[in-house]
Structure 1
Amino acid sequence: MNIVNKLTIRHLRKNKRRTLVTIIGVIISVAMLTAVATIGVSFMDLMKRQTIADEGEWHVVYKDVDIDQVHTIKKDEDTKKVVLSKDLGYALLKGSKNENKPYLFIKEYNQYGFEQFPIELSSGRLPQSENEIVISDEIINNAKVDYRIGDIITLDVGNRIANDPEIHGPMDQTFSLMTNEKGEMNEELKDTSTKEFAIVGTIKRPTWEIPWAPGYTVISYLDEELLGKDDLVNATVVLNKVKTSLFNHATNLAEKNQIGKVDFNNNLLRYYGVIKSEGMRTTLYSLSAIIMVIIIIGSVSLIYNAFAISVAERSRHLGMLSSVGATKKQKQNSVFFEGFVIGLISIPIGIIAGLAGMGITFLFINTIIQGAMGVSEKLKVTLTPGSILVAVLVSIITIFISTFIPAIRASRISAIDAIRQSTDVKLTRKAVKTSKFVRKVFGIEAEIGLKNLKRNKRRYQATVFSLVISIMLFLSVAFFTANLKKSLSLSQEGQSFDIMMEVQKGRDDQLVKSILSMDEVTKSSMMSQQYFVSSWIEKDKTSDAVRKFEGFNDQLVDGKYPYGINLYSLDEKSLKAYAKEVGADYNELQNGLNAIVIDQIKYEDADAGKYVETKAIYTKVGEQIDLFSNDAEHEKEQFINKITVAALTSKLPMGANGGYPGSLDVIVSESTLEKLGFVAEDNRMLYFNSNDPLKTQEKIEEMEEVKHYIWNVYKSRQQEEQMVMIMSVFTYGFIVLITAISIANILNTISTSISLRKREFAMLKSVGMTPKGFNKMINYESIFYGVKALIYGLPLSVVCMLLIYKALANSFSYSFALPWLSIIYVIVAVFLIVGTSMLYSSAKVKKENIIDALKQESI
């Protein structure tokens, strides 16, 4: 080790406080980088495991393949496992007490199917031959059919065919039971064949069985050796390695071997970072790049300030080195060596601290997400060589960037200037000139404060820079968080209820009261919907999406475009609650022809490959909309009446599906509906939420009078809420990290800057500045810092927000909106943090003896 490096280490040991502050700054920065990388990887790992637990582990499925095609798929170099499955068909479940679920749905799997799909055995064993089955517990508990292990059952298995000419071909589990107007079954089984099965076990209801499916799932064994050349099965593939090229590879394999249809498990693949959509992939990469840049900027600002202040303190030391013959390169290398030593100590500790912090955080988070959302998997601290390598490399680059400018500056310090400390302090008239306005309005203390800042621009700029970076970090991440949640809500189905059931007015009133009085029920809505209603909307009031339609101008009649109207009517209780929620006048809705109009829509634009939020109509409160009857019985449209827009909102009432371009959702009272000439339907839909939907459904089904179809969407809705909540934990955790780093950065910079001004403050006191005047000066300095930081920070933050918005625009389309609440928080926080830091630091300086401070040689 050369003499300069030895002196650098000796200096670090001698100035333990400054060295410790610098090391802590780097540790915090590295810990943040590690934590962010760990959060991202761990979050993706959790969602991957949760999706596998809910839907099984598979990547590609080839539909309706024969045995030769199966062998080709197995031989493919990318194939790891092949799950063979077949939907055998439906059979009537004799003795079922559930009128809405009268079938058994028989599905066959080979051995790999039992391993790769979430089939949870309750009792007995899994089937091992084609004449053995396991049945769902729901058959015993819900359908009340007394099947037992060991029973031999004979079933006529066939295809469900609707007695409706508009529905062609066999129906699968996605089609609910077809009924006629009287509620009687309007479908039948065809092409049946008799099969005999032995029940060898029971399983829990499969997670993939949708709530409205008309058949209880039973699973049998698919013996590959018994497949004939004409037998068709589905080949579900687990790949050796998941990579983006799998989409093209699978498609080419299908085309080459005349396989008609290939699908991908996009729900799982997205958590591998493998996305088919070019727009979504661009969005992901763009956001990753922006967030990484934001993190690096925050880290550089924190570490740079630590090193810059360290070099400022060492300027006299570096000058003395120069006076005894140290070259520019040696002085420069001294700073780089300091960075190397601090990095060597800080990076390992920072990585360990980041991982430990995430481990502790995940312990608390797991309690929340498992208790509140029913997530079966836990967040685990997931390490990958890539994430740790990224954290280390970014930390090294950050330290290098942070030391580079101070190193260059150190190499240029001459011996005389360094020993005199004349480079830091500028006393020319022009350098410290202030406006007369400042003194006139704020007083002499404000002028002195401003001159103090101008005397040493580097410290002033370093502090302002820290504040600007902190503002940019917080606002960018807050905007990113809000928009990420918004994007997620656009891509989800957005069901707002747990259970839906059809009830008849009058006949079911007591039943409704009984259901809504249950302790588990938290929110409800009663609604009926009217079809065959339309309107003609003026061209300039139509939505932007409608105007992009091909042939838009061709459909205009007298400058108006045809809109479909979804007319929803709410009962009194539901309307009163909804009106209060959206800020509408309930009495106004009950009197006259007034309505709440949903003026925003969310939909997926398949052609553009993005999710869109846009205006449904451009109208104002008080304007009127013409309604026409669009009933096929009339040869021409019949004018009904005009309705007045009483309120505009983007919030749908519980149960409403939401519109699409060229449609409009209109909410009215039942009395308004009658005034329009419609009769409120006897059959209405009851929607409600419950804190235990499965228990609530059981209670309803136990009621003797209930013979209603109950649609429980809790499972599918729960997955959406899980995603939103986990994403919220991830993003708000990110905000907490960024905020903590920003505050540490500001406190460190300001406290160090104040501590280096001991002689300056002592001099002011020695010429008669009172404690009150000193406090006023500090307060004005805080204001100057805050105002200057906001002048630069807010516009730069808006630029960052626009970049994030543009990145999301590749996959999501909605209007740009500034986060005004976050901006207000930032403005208040900046002055609060700066003021607190200045007062805390100056309070320590006040305790210094004036004589001792004036004798101090280093600034």
Structure 2
Amino acid sequence: MNIVNKLTIRHLKENKRRTLVTILGIIISVAMVTAVATLATSFMDVAQRNQIADYGEWHVRYNDVNQEQLEAIKEDEETKSVILSNDVGFAQFEESKNKHRPYFFVKAFNKEGFKQLPIKVVDGRLPKSTDEVVISKGINSIDGVTYDIGDQITMEVGERYTLDGSGPIDENLSLIREEGKSVEILKNTQQKTYTVVGEIEPPKWKDPFIPGYIVINYLDENLIGTNHTLDASVAVNKVNQSIYDYTTSFAQENKIQSVLYHTDLLAFYGVSNDEGLKKTMVLLTAIIIGVIIAGSVALIYNAFAISISERARHLGMLSSVGTTKKQKRNSVLFEGLIVGLISIPIGIIFGVIGIGITLSSTNSIFLEVFDIEEKLNLIVTPLSILIACGISIITIFISAYLPARKASKISAIDAIRQTQDVKLSGKKVKTSKLVRKLFGIQAEIGLKNLKRNKRRYQVTIFSLVISIVLFLTVSFFTDNMQKSIELKMQTLNDYDIQVGTIVENSDLLTSVSTLEDVTNYNIVKSFSLNTWIDEDKVPADSKQQYFDINDDGKRLYHVNVQALDEASFQNYAQSVNADVERFADATKPAAILIDTFNYKDREAKKIIESTSILAEPGMKIDLINKDFETEEETFVNSIEIASVAENYSIGNATSGYGSFVIIVPESLMEQLVPVDYKREVFADLFLSSSDPMKTQVEIEEFGETDITIDNKTGQRLNTERVVLLMEVFSYGFTILITAISVANIFNTISTSIALRKREFAMLKSIGMTPKEFNKMINYESIFYAIKSLLYGLPISIAIMYFIHRAIANTIIYKFTLPWVDIIIVIITIFMIVGAAMLYSSSKVKKENIIDALKMENI
């Protein structure tokens, strides 16, 4: 070890407090990176295990493969295991009392399928021969139906066709009905006799609303004929992004026509074939890592910059005895190496321990909230540790390199005379006369101090700016990811089941709403009208779509009118800040207009949020009933838009380009429904239930044919769970970033104030009173806060826009500034800076003037 490095180590030992602050800053930074990486791998692991537990371990499915193609799949070096399956077919279930599920559905698996798929046996065993089956538990729950182990079932198994001969119908499609009656028949039937050997839980890997109760048969590979085809679900050895290209190429080489991917499971490995989603994830990952590095650099860089300030005379003395620029630069880099070797292992340990404690303490809550059986385990992978080490090394190098370059340029004379930090000229410290006039001499002195100590002032401003940027970008990222998930899942409406019928049957919906498990409900009556809208009220992107345009240049809009009962309407009106009293006068019809909609662009593979009409309160629209066969128009009524809203949480606000939704109280319906229009008015019940599956069965048992039932339970719960997961992860990250930012601000300001003891002592020696000193400090705080906000807010807005553009590769919606967060940041910056300045200056006040004037460090 050379003499310069030995002196560096000695300097670190002599300045224990500063060295400890630097090490602590790096530990926090490394712990944060490690925590984020470990948390991500832990969540990915539990998501993978849960997906496998519910839907089985397979990654790609080759459909309709023959014996030759199957052999090629098995011999492929990437194949880990193969699940063979065969859709034997549907058979009539005469005893079924469920009009929507009149069939048995028989599906066969090989031994590997029984191992890899989550088939939970309740009673008995799994089939071992082709004449044995297990039945779904739901079959024996039907009144009057009991199949015991050992019983034989004889059935005619075939394919579903419609009465007009079209088919076969896809197994996953629900029963096709017209006017409340099934229009399906079974064709190509074969008689099968099976022995029941067990009963299983209804499998999650099969849609619970397919029209057949699950019956699982054994598939014997040895009995497969040459011309017989099967589905082969393959688990591969290595899951990576190349799986899509590789399997597509493999299918083409072996002339396999259809390939299906387990996209949900692959997504939890970070693998996707959606280019927009991949681009989004890459950009967001880069932004997150960039935010972490920026925050860490801000914290660590300040420590090294302050170190250079304290070591200025020391480095100057080294220069005077012949130390080269390279040696001085390497001295600072060596300091970074030493503190890094100490800090990185400790930071990794603390990061892993911290996340481990967090996961352990929240595991029970996690299992309950997400309703899964797989525990959230702490997963520490070599890759996550390498990522943490790599980011930390890069962070330390960047933080140390810039001060190292500056250190190498310090001349011996400047360092010994301590002139490198303070280079005065009248122009540089000149302040506006307005400052003294408005705030007094103390504010002017404070501002001159900042200009005189420009480097330290810039370091502090940099620290504050980074803190602002970190908080705003992370909170913006959190809010937008939650919104994007909600849009992508398309479950903004908070209900479990939708029951639809014509308005004459609305009494049935009232009966359904009284079922035991129904916890909340809304009945919405809806019908369609039209209106002509002025050209200037049509959004630019809507003008590119097809419209009927009349002689006055107006465009024809479709209007979806939805009527709520009085209580529900008042609650909704209050939720969107509409004046409820405005709707009380029936002689002046008024409505709430929904101007926002979202849809999936299948070509661009994006969820797009758009505006249907440029409406505003007070706007009047003339509702008409247009007969598109005769082109005859009948005026219905004029209605005023009392309020414009972006969301509708009660029912389905179906709109799009050239259409919008208006919400009215039920009392207004008589004025809006045209004569002889009753069959065109529909009623929908949107209900929440404590047991949605049971409630659906009870609705079906009403025996009504002219209704539709749509159970949204699974989709809505999945959305809520994903959003909650994002909240836990993102807000935890936000809190951590905020804590680091606050620590950074306090550290920077307190150290900066500590290095100005001599300066403050000089001001006190010429007569500055404690009150005047406090005023000077207060004004400096204000200058710091204002300057940091002037830089921090525009930079934050720019980064937020880039985040919005990154998400726009998958989901498109309006870019809006988070004004609440911005106001919080403005208030918080003033509070934190003021608190840090007061805390630091309170310590300086206790210093003896004579002792402080003798200090050599500025």
**Residue in structure 1 matched with residue 16 of structure 2 by the alignment:** 16
**Residue in structure 2 matched with residue 441 of structure 1 by the alignment:** 438
Residues 175-231 of structure 1 deviation map (CA, whole Å, 9 limit, x = unaligned): 3334443x4444333333221122222222211333433222221112222222333
**Residue in structure 2 matched with residue 739 of structure 1 by the alignment:** 738
Offset of residue 565 of structure 1: 3.7
Offset of residue 589 of structure 1: 4.6
Residues 592-640 of structure 1 deviation map (CA, whole Å, 9 limit, x = unaligned): 54333221111111122221111122223333444454668x5434425
Distance 2:376 2:539 in 1: 43
1:28-427 to 2 correspondence within 5 Å? 28-141=28-141, 145-163=145-163, 165=164, 168-181=166-179, 183-427=180-424
Asked if the contact 1:528/1:685 (under 8 Å) is kept, the reply is yes
Tell me which amino acid in the other structure corresponds to 2:567: K
SS of 2:241 mapped into structure 1:
coil
Tell me which amino acid in the other structure corresponds to 2:146: D
Distance 2:670 2:777 in 1: 70
Offset of residue 463 of structure 1: 0.3
Tell me which amino acid in the other structure corresponds to 1:601: F
Distance 1:535 1:105 in 2: 49
Tell me which amino acid in the other structure corresponds to 1:57: E
Asked if the contact 1:97/1:144 (under 8 Å) is kept, the reply is no
Distance 2:144 2:800 in 1: 57
Q: Does 1:636 align with 2:634?
A: no
SS of 1:46 mapped into structure 2:
helix
Measured at CA, do residues 261 and 657 of structure 1 come closer, stay the same or move farther in structure 2, by a change above 3 Å? farther
**Residue in structure 1 matched with residue 650 of structure 2 by the alignment:** 654
Distance 1:686 1:330 in 2: 78
Distance 1:95 1:102 in 2: 8
Distance 1:707 1:143 in 2: 24
Between 559-568 and 426-435, report the one with greater CA deviation: 559-568
SS of 2:191 mapped into structure 1:
strand
Distance 2:327 2:383 in 1: 35
Q: Does 1:496 align with 2:490?
A: no
Offset of residue 711 of structure 1: 4.4
Measured at CA, do residues 364 and 467 of structure 1 come closer, stay the same or move farther in structure 2, by a change above 3 Å? same
Distance 1:566 1:19 in 2: 68
**Residue in structure 2 matched with residue 583 of structure 1 by the alignment:** 577
Distance 1:672 1:389 in 2: 66
Tell me which amino acid in the other structure corresponds to 2:202: R
Asked if the contact 1:38/1:358 (under 8 Å) is kept, the reply is yes
Measured at CA, do residues 513 and 715 of structure 1 come closer, stay the same or move farther in structure 2, by a change above 3 Å? closer
Offset of residue 10 of structure 1: 1.5
Distance 2:118 2:288 in 1: 36
Tell me which amino acid in the other structure corresponds to 2:210: A
**Residue in structure 1 matched with residue 670 of structure 2 by the alignment:** 674
Between 240-249 and 555-564, report the one with greater CA deviation: 555-564
Asked if the contact 2:513/2:521 (under 8 Å) is kept, the reply is no
Measured at CA, do residues 791 and 347 of structure 1 come closer, stay the same or move farther in structure 2, by a change above 3 Å? same
Aligned residues: 848
SS of 2:767 mapped into structure 1:
coil
Distance 1:205 1:152 in 2: 20
Distance 1:180 1:631 in 2: 25
Measured at CA, do residues 570 and 442 of structure 1 come closer, stay the same or move farther in structure 2, by a change above 3 Å? same
**Residue in structure 1 matched with residue 766 of structure 2 by the alignment:** 767
Tell me which amino acid in the other structure corresponds to 1:672: L
Offset of residue 300 of structure 1: 1.3
Between 577-586 and 815-824, report the one with greater CA deviation: 577-586
Tell me which amino acid in the other structure corresponds to 1:654: I
Identity of aligned residues (%): 52
TM-score, normalization by structure 1: 0.92
Q: Does 1:829 align with 2:828?
A: yes
Distance 1:64 1:593 in 2: 60
Distance 2:125 2:25 in 1: 59
Measured at CA, do residues 660 and 132 of structure 1 come closer, stay the same or move farther in structure 2, by a change above 3 Å? farther
Asked if the contact 1:505/1:683 (under 8 Å) is kept, the reply is no
RMSD across aligned C-alpha pairs, in angstroms? 2.9
Offset of residue 581 of structure 1: 2.2
Gaps of 5+ in 1: none
Distance 1:740 1:847 in 2: 28
TM-score, normalization by structure 2: 0.92
Distance 2:167 2:773 in 1: 87
Measured at CA, do residues 228 and 596 of structure 1 come closer, stay the same or move farther in structure 2, by a change above 3 Å? farther
Q: Does 1:754 align with 2:753?
A: yes
Distance 1:649 1:617 in 2: 12
Offset of residue 116 of structure 1: 2.7
Distance 2:627 2:120 in 1: 50
**Residue in structure 2 matched with residue 598 of structure 1 by the alignment:** 594
**Residue in structure 2 matched with residue 610 of structure 1 by the alignment:** 606
Asked if the contact 1:595/1:643 (under 8 Å) is kept, the reply is no
Distance 1:280 1:207 in 2: 26
Distance 1:782 1:61 in 2: 64
**Residue in structure 2 matched with residue 566 of structure 1 by the alignment:** 560
Tell me which amino acid in the other structure corresponds to 2:261: F
Measured at CA, do residues 134 and 600 of structure 1 come closer, stay the same or move farther in structure 2, by a change above 3 Å? same
**Residue in structure 1 matched with residue 779 of structure 2 by the alignment:** 780
Distance 1:447 1:259 in 2: 80
Gaps of 5+ in 2: none
**Residue in structure 2 matched with residue 793 of structure 1 by the alignment:** 792
Residues 75-102 of structure 1 deviation map (CA, whole Å, 9 limit, x = unaligned): 3333222222122222233433434333
**Residue in structure 2 matched with residue 663 of structure 1 by the alignment:** 659
Offset of residue 470 of structure 1: 1.0
Offset of residue 842 of structure 1: 1.4
